[in-house]
């Protein structure tokens, strides 16, 4: 019974953690792109994004991570034999990467607050794909365990994810180029 409770809250923690991670980097993108706005909009937007990022990080994202990890420890103490499983070792490797990503987001948040972030909007959009990859790998490992299929199904899923990520990137690039074109047209002095 305890195991099921731990698993239920492990899954709830994961949902909260990932909602936070995805939205956090989306806010970073808006934050960086606010630099293209004229004053006073630029300062107002940047201050607002900074507040939103801090709250999201400390009220949603970090608690989501803590609940996930605490419940995972609960699962492992209830059934310690799981620790011998190969799938769990690989999963833990990706979880370490995910926690590293979480802390890197905190670093980016501080750099943005100090106006020292070297990432542009497009690079941040690409960075936001990293947790998707980790999510897919970790969930597949947790569900299939040592029987993770390596046939056409897996490659089909991988191809689908890559195609989705590429579409998002291309769409964002098109919107950015359209906006740049529009801004250039608006700022051009009409020639008589």
Q: Which residues bind ligand HEM (CB under 6 A)?
A: 7, 10, 14, 68-69, 72, 75-76, 82, 92, 95, 98, 135, 138-139, 142-143
Q: Quick one: which of 125, 168, 129 has its CA closest to 26?
A: 125
Burial class (CB in 10 A: 0-12, 13-18, 19+), 7: middle
Phi, psi of 120 (to 5 degrees): -100, 175
DSSP 149-189: --SHHHHHHHHHHHHHHHHHHHHHHHHHHHHHHHHHHHHSP
* Residue 145: CB minimum distance to ligand HEM, A: 7
Task: Find the shortest distance in angstroms from Cβ 72 to ligand HEM.
Answer: 3
Shortest-Cβ-distance residue relative to ligand HEM: 72
Start-to-end C-alpha separation, the chain: 80
What is each CA distance from 168 to 27, 32, 165, in whole angstroms?
Answer: 16, 18, 5
Nearer Cβ to ligand HEM (72/105): 72
Q: Work out how close the CB of 46 gets to ligand HEM at its nearest, in angstroms, rounded to a whole number.
A: 31
> To the nearest whole angstrom, how small is the minimum distance from the Cβ of residue 107 to ligand HEM?
20
Smallest gap from Cβ 97 to ligand HEM, in A, equals: 10
Nearer to ligand HEM, 13 or 121 (CB): 13
């Amino acid at each position: 019974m305890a195991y099921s409770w731990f698993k239920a809250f492990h899954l709830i923690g994961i949902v909260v953690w990932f909602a936070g991670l995805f939205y956090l980097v989306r806010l970073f993108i808006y934050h960086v792109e606010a630099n293209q706005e004229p004053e006073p909009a630029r300062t107002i937007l940047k201050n607002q994004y900074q507040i939103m990022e801090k709250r999201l990080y400390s009220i949603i994202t970090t608690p989501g991570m803590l609940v996930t990890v605490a419940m995972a420890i609960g699962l492992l103490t209830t059934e310690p034999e799981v620790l011998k499983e190969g799938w769990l070792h690989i999963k833990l490797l990706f979880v370490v990467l995910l926690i590293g990503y979480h802390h890197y987001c905190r670093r980016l948040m501080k750099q943005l607050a100090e106006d020292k972030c070297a990432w542009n909007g497009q690079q941040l959009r690409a960075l936001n794909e990293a947790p998707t990859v980790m999510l897919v790998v970790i969930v597949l490992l947790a569900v299939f365990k040592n029987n993770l299929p390596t046939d056409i199904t897996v490659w089909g899923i991988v191809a689908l994810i890559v195609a989705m990520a590429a579409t998002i990137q291309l769409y964002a690039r098109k919107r950015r180029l359209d906006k740049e074109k529009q801004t250039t047209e608006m700022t051009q002095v009409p020639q008589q």
